[in-house]
Structure 1
C-alpha cells in the first residue's frame, strides 16, 4: 500500500512507518522527482510522506469536526479544561489565596460551547441587529483561560470567525485590529474591558462586550476587586452593551438552535502577526489548515489522552493556539496558568504536566537557574558532582539514553521537579536555542526536547525535530508531512541552491498548513504567496546530509554596510546574548556606516558578580536577581556600573571574544557599545507580544546614542589616521 493509494488512511499509514524510519535514522526529507528549475533546489518532502502530502484525518477537517471526533472517542467525563481560582485575600501577604486545579469534563465543555454559540447568535440578532446568516468576527481579548477556548470552539460550531488580541497590546494596536477586522463583539476578561472602553470612541462599530468574569460586586478578580459595577456604568455611557459570559450561556440554553458546521475551506480565524516593523498583518487561517496541522503534528508528537498540558504561552499566538487544538484532538487535559508568569512554576508544580511547550527565553532561564544552584553554587563538591553527572548523561545521550540509574537518583530527579517531575516532551520554537542548552535540558529533564520552526502563515507547522534524533543540534528537523519545501537562491546574500556541501537559500513552503493570505492586503499577500501556492518565508536555510532544515539567516532583517557587506542582526544577537554579562542586545548598522554598534542591557546577577570580582563594586554589594518579565529597569547597584568605562570595555571584549569563537567576520563584530539600565519590554514598545525586538522602534529610541557612538568611532579613526602619517 502506498500513501497515494489510500489518502483517507494516510495518517495511520504514516504513523505506522514513523518508528521504522526513525529507528534507522534515514534521511528525514527526500527529493521529489520533477523538472529542475534554475536557481532552486528540487522539491523536498518529509520521508514519512514521500509519495503524497498528508491530508486531514477523515472526519477531522475543521475545528468543529476535530472536537466532535475526539468527543466520540473518549470517556466524556474525562477532565478537559482546568484552572485555579482566586479565593479570599491572605491578611498576612495582602494577596489572594488560590484553589487547587478544578476541572471541567469534555462533556461539560461541549455543552458550554454550544450554549455560548447559540447565545452569540441570539445577541447578534437582538443587540447588533445583524443577519443570522452573516459569518461575523468575535474578538478574543484575555490571557489563557477556559473561557477563551470555549468561546473559540463556540464560534467554530456556528461558522463564526475569531480574532485574537494579545492581552499585552497597547491602545494603538488594539484600536487598529478592532477596526481592521471590523469587530463588533468582543469577549474579554474584566481586567481588560477598561482598555476596550478607552478606545471605543475610535471604534464606533463595537456594540457588545462579553465579560469572561462575573459582573457582580461580589466577584473576586485579582487586581480589580469590587469594580464590576463601575465598568458596567462606563460601558453604558459609551453606548456599549456589557454582559457576562454566563449571561450568554444562559441565553443560548434558553434559546437553543442547531449547530452550523463550517466547511474545510471556510475562514476559521484571523490571527495578527506581532510584527517587528510596521502595523500587524491579519493572517487568514482556514479550517483545513487546522485539520492538516493535527494530522501532521501527531506523527511527531504522539500526544494522547493520558497527557497533561500546561497552557501559558499567549493563546493569541499561533504556537499556543495550535498546541491547544492538537491537545483537544488528542484528548489531552489542558491546565491553564494563572496569567502571571512569575507564578508559573507554582502552577507547574501543582499541575505536574507531561507536555511542556516553551520558548528559548524561558528555557534559557531554567538552564541558568540550574547552573546557578550547581556549577556556580560556590560549593566545590556540588559543582564537581553535577559536572560529572552531566558529562556522563551527555555521553549516554549520543547512544539514545535519556536516563541513568545512578545520576538521575542522585542529581537529576530533583531538577526534574522544577517542571513537576512528569515531563516526557518539551517543544521549543519562536527563536533559536543553543546546542549547549538543548543538550543540557534533554539530560536534566530526561526527555526529548524538540526544536521546531514555523510562523503564523504556516500554523507554526513548518518543521519539527524527529524524536530520538540526538544529532539535531542547530537543526529544526524535516518539513511537516502535510507540506513540501524548496530553497530558492538569494544572489545578493550569496546563498545559492548550488552551494557546497549543502544547498542554501530562502525556504519556500507549500501545502495544507499554509495560510490563505492577509486580510485586506492584497499587495502583502502577493509578496508572500506565489500564484501556485508557495509561501516565501523570508528565512534563509540549508538542508543537511540527513535531510534536516537548518535556519542560518533572515532575509527580511538584513541591512548593508557602507562597504557592501550584508548583516543579519538577529543571527548576531543570538550569538552575543550568550555572554553571561548580556541580558538583551540590539545590533545596529546602516549603509552609511562601515561598522556595527550595539545597545546592551547587562545581566544583573552576572554583571554584579563580575564587577565585584574586578573590584568595580564593593564585596558587600548584594547580588540581584536575573531580569524578570515585566521588569522595567535594572537594580540600583547596576546604574552606576553601566557608566564605568572599564566595565563597558569588558562587556565589549566579551562580545568580541564570542565573535572570534563563532568565526564571525570583522565587520560582524560591534566596535562600540552603549549600556542601558532600561529593560526592553512590551510596555515600552521595544518588544512585540512574542518578545521579539522591534528594530525600528529601538533605532528611534537610541538614535542619539547611536550617533554618539559613530561620532566617537569616526573621531578615533581620524586620530589614528593622523598618527599613522606622523
Structure 2
C-alpha cells in the first residue's frame, strides 16, 4: 500500500512540475473609468463603466414587453416553460400558448365587468401622480404567476408583489395599508387569508393561480423544444380537457366561504380565455411604476419598492448583452428561487427575452437535487445558503469514500486548486474524471454557478469551481436596484469580486464609514449608487424614501465595499454588521456569520455584539444529522449518549446546550478561527445552540438570508443572560472602587470628628504646654489606613486575576 501511495504521489508531482510552467497568467483588465472627481473629502471619485458614454447609446429605452413580444413571434412552437412535479417534468407550455394566456388575462384586467381593475388615487404618493391600478401577486413559482406578471405589464396595471413565504400577519398589514382590491394567489394560501377578512375590508377579488387544466401533461421524458409534433398534439387536446378534481372541489368549498364574507373567488384559467382584438402595450412611459415589490425585511417591516418601466429596461436589456450570456449561450433556466424576489424575476425575464426555457422546480426541498439534475440548466443562479449546502453534501460524500480513494480524490483536488484549475487541472480531470462523477449527481450540463443575494465564502467558491470543474461568477444587487446592478466579467476570476456595473448609466462611489476610508489607495466605505436601475421610492413612505438618498441623488446601499484597482467591487460588510465592543474594537458580524457557517453541521450562525460587551455571542442553528455525523467521526457518541437511533430525539435544544455539546461546537469554531488572521476579539465564547428548523416561516427570507431582527427578538433571553455576565464582570471591579470610596469617606468623616474634638480641647488647654497639633501624624491611624489600602489592593488584584482566569478558561 505504501508503494502504491508513493507511486501515485510521484506521478502527480511529475505532472505538476511538467505543466506548471506552461500556465499563462491572465492580464489584469481595467473595467471602469473615473467620470467625476470627489464631491468632498469623505468620498471617493465617481466611477463608471469603461467607455460608458459610447455604450450608453447602445441601449435606447424601449418597454420590456416590446422585447418579449418580439421573442414570442419568433419562438411560437418552442417550449417556454416546464413545470416539475415530484422531481419529474410535468406540465409545459410553448411560447405561443404561454403568450396566449398573457394576452387573454391582460384583456380581462382591462375589461372585467366592463371596467377591469379600476384606478385608485393615493393622496400620500407622488409617483404615477398618485394613480394606481393594483394587482397583488402572492404565490410560489408557476406559469400562471409569470403570465399574470407579464399581462399586468401589457395592461398598464401595477403588480404589488409579496413573497409567498411572508407570514399571514405581514400580508394582512400590506393589504390593509395599500387598500388592495385584487389579489392573485396560490390555492393553499386562501384559507389562511380568509380568516383575517375583517382586517382588510377593501379586498374584493381573489384569483387562484394553480393550474387546474392537465391537458399539457408531459407523457414522456426528455422533452425536446424542437418537437413540433408534440406541441401540435397539445393543440388537439384542448377540446377534451382533463381537470384536477381535488383542487376543483377545494375551490368550490372556498367560493362558498368567501362569498359569505363578501369576497369573489375566480380561477386564473377561466379569466384567461378571451383574446383581445389587438395587442397593445398600455403606458410605455419610462417613469411609470410597473411593479411594487415588498422587500423581505431582514431587519424589520417590509417596504414596498417602486420599480419603473425604465428600471426594468436598464437591468434586463444590458444583462441580455452581458459577456457571460455571449460566452455560455445558456438555453435553460432552473427556476427555484422565489420569483417574487426581484433577483429571480429578472433572471426569468432575461431567459424569456433570449427565447430560452424556464424549468420550474417541484417546490419540495427533499427532491431539489432531482429537479436540478433534470432541469439540464447550464447556469445555476443561487444564493450563498444554497451553494454552502451543495458544497457540504459533496464533501460529506467524499468523506464516506474508502480510505485510499478518499486520499487520492483529496490530493488531486488539492493540486487542481493550487494550479487554479488550469492546464494541469484539466489534464488531471481528463485522466481521473473526478469532477465528471460529482457533476453527474448534480447536473451534467452545469457550466457556471452565479452567486447573488449575499457574499459566498471565497474558499467555498474556489472549492466548488474545482469540485464541479465549472466557472464561478458573482453579482450584487438589491430590490431597490431592480436586482443585479453589478456583475463579474467572465475574464474576472477573483472569487471576492462582485463585479462591475451592468448598465453604462450606472455611477458609483464610496463614502467613509467608521474605520473604512474613502481616501485609501483602494477606496473603502459605504457604497453609493446612481443609476437608471435605482428604484423610484418606497410606496406611501416619503420620509423613508428621502432618508435613503444623499443630497446629490445617490442611493445609500448600506453595504460597505472596496473599489479594486480594476474598478470592480469587493464586499466588506453591511454597515449595520459592523459593531463596536466595550474596548472600542470593531468586529464584522457578517464576516463571522459566514466564517462559522462553513462548519459542516452549522446551518446558520448569527453573531451579536454591542458596546456593553467584551466579546460577541452566537446564536447557532445546527443540522441534527450532520451534527450526529460529526460526533460519530470524532468518536464522541459514547461520551454524549447519542446513538444512530436516538439522535433525532436527543439532539434537541435542551440537551445540546449542555456543556459537552457547547464545548464541542466551540472547539470546532476555534479550529476555524485559528485558520484566520482575525484578532482575539472575534473569538465567540458564548453560544446558544438550536436544532429547531429555520425556514421562511420564521427566520429566513425567501432568498434564505437570516432575519436577524427576529432571531435577536426570539433569543433575547440568551442575549440578556450574556450581557449580565459582562455587566457583573464590570460590576465586580466597580464594587471595589465603590467600597474604597465609601471607606475613604468614612475615614474623612472620622478625621473631621477627631479634628473637631482636638480643636475643642485645644481651645480649652491653650495655655498648657501639651498642646495637641492637629497636623501631627497619628501612628495608629497611619497603620490602620495602610492596612485598609493593602487589603483593598489585594481585593482589586484578586478580582482582576479572577477575570483573567475566566477569560483564559473561556478561550481554551
TM-score of the aligned structures, taking structure 2 as reference length: 0.77
Question: Which of 289, 292, 300 matches 1:267?
Answer: 289
Match of residue 675 from structure 1:
689
Q: How far apart, CA to CA, are the structure 1 residues paired with 2:65 and 2:696? A: 34
Match of residue 105 from structure 2:
116
Match of residue 506 from structure 2:
484
Match of residue 642 from structure 1:
656
Contact map agreement 1:27 1:546 (CA 8 A) in 2:
yes
| 2:436 equivalent to 1:417 | no
Contact map agreement 1:529 1:535 (CA 8 A) in 2:
yes
Match of residue 469 from structure 1:
492
Question: Which of 344, 350, 364 matches 2:374?
Answer: 350
| 2:570 equivalent to 1:494 | no
| SS in structure 2 at match of 1:679 | coil
Match of residue 7 from structure 1:
none
The Cα shift of 1:367 comes to: 0.9
Contact map agreement 1:506 1:540 (CA 8 A) in 2:
yes
The Cα shift of 1:299 comes to: 1.6
Contact map agreement 1:55 1:295 (CA 8 A) in 2:
no
1:411-466 deviations in Å (ceiling 9; x for gaps): 22122123331122221111211122212222233322211111001122221122
Quick one: structure 1 residues 721 and 194, their matched pair in 2 at CA, closer, same or farther if it must change by over 3 Å?
farther
| SS in structure 2 at match of 1:551 | strand
Contact map agreement 2:622 2:690 (CA 8 A) in 1:
yes
Contact map agreement 1:140 1:187 (CA 8 A) in 2:
yes
| 2:222 equivalent to 1:199 | no
Question: Which of 298, 307, 310 matches 1:288?
Answer: 310
Contact map agreement 2:500 2:567 (CA 8 A) in 1:
yes
Quick one: structure 1 residues 482 and 51, their matched pair in 2 at CA, closer, same or farther if it must change by over 3 Å?
closer
Question: Which of 411, 415, 420 matches 1:388?
Answer: 411
| SS in structure 2 at match of 1:115 | helix
Match of residue 81 from structure 1:
81
1:683-717 deviations in Å (ceiling 9; x for gaps): 2x322333222223222212222222333455577
1:389-410 deviations in Å (ceiling 9; x for gaps): 3234334546488844744763
Q: How far apart, CA to CA, are the structure 2 residues paired with 1:663 and 1:272? A: 39
Q: How far apart, CA to CA, are the structure 1 residues paired with 2:114 and 2:177? A: 22
Match of residue 456 from structure 1:
479
Question: Which of 274, 298, 301 matches 1:276?
Answer: 298
The Cα shift of 1:282 comes to: 0.7
Quick one: structure 1 residues 221 and 343, their matched pair in 2 at CA, closer, same or farther if it must change by over 3 Å?
farther
1:546-565 deviations in Å (ceiling 9; x for gaps): 32210111113444333333
1:80-111 deviations in Å (ceiling 9; x for gaps): 111135xxxxxxxxxxx776344322222222
1:243-265 deviations in Å (ceiling 9; x for gaps): 11111112x33887854252222
Question: Which of 567, 579, 583 matches 1:563?
Answer: 583
Match of residue 51 from structure 1:
53
Q: Which stretch of the first structure deviates more once superposed, 431-440 or 281-290?
A: 431-440
Q: How far apart, CA to CA, are the structure 2 residues paired with 1:265 and 1:607? A: 52
Quick one: structure 1 residues 77 and 570, their matched pair in 2 at CA, closer, same or farther if it must change by over 3 Å?
same
Q: How far apart, CA to CA, are the structure 1 residues paired with 2:798 and 2:245? A: 68
Contact map agreement 1:400 1:468 (CA 8 A) in 2:
no
Q: How far apart, CA to CA, are the structure 2 residues paired with 1:465 and 1:408? A: 31
The Cα shift of 1:495 comes to: 1.1
Matches within 5 A, 1:309-320: 309-320=333-344
Quick one: structure 1 residues 372 and 57, their matched pair in 2 at CA, closer, same or farther if it must change by over 3 Å?
same
The Cα shift of 1:129 comes to: 6.5
| SS in structure 2 at match of 1:346 | helix
Match of residue 525 from structure 1:
545
| SS in structure 1 at match of 2:474 | strand
| 2:605 equivalent to 1:585 | yes
Q: How far apart, CA to CA, are the structure 2 residues paired with 1:567 and 1:23? A: 35
Q: How far apart, CA to CA, are the structure 2 residues paired with 1:417 and 1:226? A: 42
Point out the structure with max Rg over C-alpha.
Answer: 2
Q: How far apart, CA to CA, are the structure 2 residues paired with 1:35 and 1:703? A: 43
Q: Which stretch of the first structure deviates more once superposed, 425-434 or 209-218?
A: 209-218
Match of residue 41 from structure 2:
38
Match of residue 328 from structure 1:
352
| 2:638 equivalent to 1:618 | yes
Match of residue 236 from structure 2:
none
Q: How far apart, CA to CA, are the structure 1 residues paired with 2:164 and 2:324? A: 29
Match of residue 689 from structure 1:
702
Quick one: structure 1 residues 528 and 426, their matched pair in 2 at CA, closer, same or farther if it must change by over 3 Å?
same
Q: Which stretch of the first structure deviates more once superposed, 570-579 or 110-119?
A: 570-579
Q: How far apart, CA to CA, are the structure 2 residues paired with 1:274 and 1:721? A: 51
Match of residue 236 from structure 1:
259
Match of residue 567 from structure 2:
547
Quick one: structure 1 residues 228 and 581, their matched pair in 2 at CA, closer, same or farther if it must change by over 3 Å?
closer
Q: How far apart, CA to CA, are the structure 2 residues paired with 1:624 and 1:558? A: 43
| 2:795 equivalent to 1:722 | no
Contact map agreement 2:332 2:356 (CA 8 A) in 1:
yes
| SS in structure 2 at match of 1:552 | strand
Match of residue 534 from structure 1:
554
Q: Which stretch of the first structure deviates more once superposed, 146-155 or 526-535?
A: 526-535
Contact map agreement 2:139 2:186 (CA 8 A) in 1:
yes
The Cα shift of 1:483 comes to: 4.1
Structure 1 gaps of 5+ residues are 1-21, 86-96, 626-633
Q: How far apart, CA to CA, are the structure 1 residues paired with 2:363 and 2:626? A: 28
Going by fraction, where is helix more abundant, 1 or 2? 2
Q: Which stretch of the first structure deviates more once superposed, 299-308 or 114-123?
A: 299-308
The Cα shift of 1:242 comes to: 0.9
Q: Which stretch of the first structure deviates more once superposed, 536-545 or 188-197?
A: 188-197
The Cα shift of 1:724 comes to: 4.8
Contact map agreement 2:376 2:445 (CA 8 A) in 1:
yes
Q: Which stretch of the first structure deviates more once superposed, 331-340 or 393-402?
A: 393-402
